[in-house]
Amino acid sequence: MGYPHAPHRREALVLSKHFGEKDAVTLAGWKKRGGYAALEKALGMPPADIVNVVKDSGLRGRGGAGFPTGLKWSFMKIGDGKPHYLCCNADESEPGTFKDREIMRWTPHALIEGCAIGSYAIGAETCYIYIRGEFTEPIARVEAALKECYDAGILGKNAMGTGKTVNVWVHRGAGAYICGEETALMNSLEGKRGNPRIKPPFPAVSGVFAQPTTINNVETLAAVPAILNNGAAWYKQWMRADNPKSTGTKLYSVCGNIQKPGNYEVPMGFPFKEFLYDLCGGPPPGRKFKAIIPGGISVPIQTVDEAEASLMDYEGFVAEGTMLGSGGVICIDDSQNLVKQIARAARFFAHESCAQCTQCREGTAWTTKILERIVAGEGTPEDLDTLLSIADNMTGKTICVLSDSCATPVVSGLKKFRADFEALIKSKRTILVPAVA
Ligand SMILES: Cc1cc2nc3c(=O)[nH]c(=O)nc-3n(C[C@H](O)[C@H](O)[C@H](O)COP(=O)(O)O)c2cc1C
Ligand code: SF4
């Protein structure tokens, strides 16, 4: 299979329509595909009208929490005399998620156009695209596209000849998971250590440089030009008839024990069973799925029955005991031991904790220690209750939700796959857990 794969007939291509088309990365190629018509339209509209179109479209943030984008934009008080900022979160840290980097690689101008429209809509003259530093190719593509925009007068002090100022800059992150958390991102952008800040104040009140700030994910912003071009009703064609709370299309990154890994774009409400077996080819030959994590490693693990019953939207995944999250679908087949997967996740969170909160610093370390004892064949039955008690102390008590994210796979794993833990403890077998890089 080539990558990007040939689209499946059941995909709905909005964000990934031009993936793999080499000339789409250039300004000329992007304009041939209708690029920057939405920005031109937006710059002729009152900012509040743009916010209303985005509100009406039902677009929700694709960075993990699914907060309504238009509503978030409306928190920025235009005319308050303060400089406003837009930050595009291109840190893409969530394990299992690799869609934002593909948007930047293949359609950098879609992202820049979305950033420019978003900036104007919230009264910001400056947008920072905070990109994980390892993303060398996406960074090069976005920087080249930005240069083309400045050279063509699309961005700058007189954007598209309208007299309005729209600046978009790239800021490279050093590659820490926690810098994807919005307030840590802002600290990092200011040149400080990327530690999350206590909220309130929320970014819309005091964000970057203590000024009103909006943070949006790459996929969120890249969807905006198509919404402005085609209207809110067009975007809402993709939703379940019985669930208007989730609209549009969503990019899912699929990895693990699956025949056709890669990025897939499907409408909200798509049946997960059809997605896993028809689009992604199902588990490797001779294997069955054992568990699925549908939204990146931070969301609860699903049993196969739960996954097969899920409809792919925010509410559909919640109804089956998990979350849509960032859309990183991790597939685990029946050759795997769940304890190994969970131990590896815990080791990752312990490594990435910024260590400000005791519950997170100590909790991630102890969780890792106990799980590693179990995979080393030295666990005891009491360890399982200790793990649950630590997880309870790690949940809902910290500055950011990294602590909760570490507890989530432990709790859902023990609830749904306790037999894996018990069998391993009883057998005293050792299983190898690869190191976190
Ligand atoms: C530990 C942690 C890591 C996060 N990593 C990312 C990330 O890599 N990319 C992202 O867009 N959002 C990430 N988020 C969510 C952001 O804090 C924020 O909610 C999001 O960027 C808002 O954009 P949206 O409204 O468009 O979804 C992370 C959150 C947490 C708690
Ligand atoms: S929960 Fe963890 S990562 Fe988040 S602020 Fe506290 S210590 Fe840092």
For 251, residues 6+ apart whose C-beta sits below 8 A from its C-beta are 15, 16, 62, 99, 102, 103, 219, 263, 264, 265, 327
> Can you list the pairs that 9-13 forms with residues at least 24 positions away whose Cβ atoms lie under 8 Å?
10/266, 10/270, 10/274, 10/278, 10/279, 11/264, 11/265, 11/266, 11/279, 12/238, 12/249, 12/265, 12/266, 12/267, 13/249, 13/265
Give the residue, by CA position, lying nearest to ligand 1 atom 28: 181
Report the Cα 152 to chain-centroid distance in Å.
Answer: 31
Give the DSSP H/E element, type plus range, for residue 412: helix 402-427
Nearest atom within ligand 2 for CA of residue 400: 4
Q: Which is nearest to 171 in space by CA: 206, 132, 210, 135? A: 132
Give the DSSP H/E element, type plus range, for residue 367: helix 358-375
Side chain identity at residue 108, one-letter code? P
Structure tokens at 81: 């005399």
Pocket of ligand 2 (CB under 6 A): 178, 196, 353-357, 360-361, 398-400, 402-403
The verdict on the CB of residue 306 being under 6 Å from ligand 1 is no
Cα gap 108→358, rounded to integer Å: 40
pLDDT for position 7: 83
Give the other-Cβ count within 10 Å of 379's Cβ.
22
Cα gap 215→203, rounded to integer Å: 8
Cα gap 169→104, rounded to integer Å: 14
> Dihedrals φ, ψ of 89, to 5°?
-85, 100
Structure tokens at 256: 């693990």
Q: Which is nearest to 263 in space by CA: 85, 75, 105? A: 105
- Under DSSP, the state recorded for 98 is -
Nearest atom within ligand 2 for CA of residue 361: 7
Give the residue, by CA position, lying nearest to ligand 1 atom 29: 181
Give the residue, by CA position, lying nearest to ligand 1 atom 23: 216
Give the other-Cβ count within 10 Å of 75's Cβ.
14
pLDDT for position 5: 79
Q: Structure pTM?
A: 0.96
Nearest atom within ligand 2 for CA of residue 360: 2
Q: Each residue's pLDDT tens digit in the chain (437 positions)?
A: 446 778 888 888 999 999 999 999 999 999 999 999 999 999 999 999 999 999 999 999 999 999 999 999 999 999 999 999 999 999 999 999 999 999 999 999 999 999 999 999 999 999 999 999 999 999 999 999 999 999 999 999 999 999 999 999 999 999 899 999 999 999 999 999 999 999 999 999 999 999 999 999 999 999 999 999 999 999 999 999 999 999 999 999 999 999 999 999 999 999 999 999 999 999 999 999 999 999 999 999 999 999 999 999 999 999 999 999 999 999 999 999 999 999 999 999 999 999 999 999 999 999 999 999 999 999 999 999 999 999 999 999 999 999 999 999 999 999 999 999 999 999 888 876 666 55
Task: Report helix angle 108-121 to 136-151, nearest 10.
Answer: 60
Cα gap 172→180, rounded to integer Å: 12
Residue 58 · residue 245 · CB < 8 Å? yes
Nearest atom within ligand 2 for CA of residue 364: 2
Alpha carbon distances (Å) from 70 to 54, 116, 168, 260, 286: 5, 15, 20, 35, 46
